[in-house]
Amino acid sequence: GAVVSQHPSRVICKSGTSVKIECRSLDFQATTMFWYRQFPKKSLMLMATSNEGSKATYEQGVEKDKFLINHASLTLSTLTVTSAHPEDSSFYICSAPRPGEAEAFFGQGTRLTVV
């Protein structure tokens, strides 16, 4: 079964509103989680690294004030898209490495549509 759960799987919101996406590690503690974004017909690109108990680190070109990341516990990271615009419409997916394992575990992804 899934070891990383992401919610919601699909969300439609109005321009200007904020949307929160959750990523949970189900049977292990994850001090680090990763958020990726995928534009249509493009590959996944790393947006930011979520660090439990400290600030997230963002990749170049990703606005930290727009994509708020909170990693308040060892099993939960949240990505909040603030003041969403239609160009934020995309597929967002999280990943969490399980300690001691090389295999990557990904959430189911969230399809965000901003209208």
Partner 1 sequence: KQEVTQIPAALSVPEGENLVLNCSFTDSAIYNLQWFRQDPGKGLTSLLLIQSSQREQTSGRLNASLDKSSGRSTLYIAASQPGDSATYLCAVPNTGNQFYFGTGTSLTVIP
Minimal distance, residue 11 CB to partner 1, in Å: 13
User: In angstroms, rounded to a whole number, what is the distance separating the alpha carbons of residues 4 and 32?
Assistant: 13
Q: How many residues bind partner 1 (CB under 8 A)?
A: 23
Residue of 47, 52, 60, 43 lying closest to 25 (CA atoms): 52
Contact mark string toward partner 1, 45..74, x via CB under 8 A: xx--x-------------------------
Secondary structure class of 18 (helix, strand, coil): coil
Q: Which of 14, 65, 100, 103 binds partner 1 (CB under 8 A)?
A: 103
Total count of residues recorded for the chain: 115
User: In angstroms, rounded to a whole number, what is the distance separating the alpha carbons of residues 106 and 94?
Assistant: 6
Q: Which of 11, 13, 22, 32 binds partner 1 (CB under 8 A)?
A: 32
Site residues, partner 1 (CB under 8 A): 6, 32, 34, 36, 42-46, 49, 91, 93, 95, 97, 102-109, 111
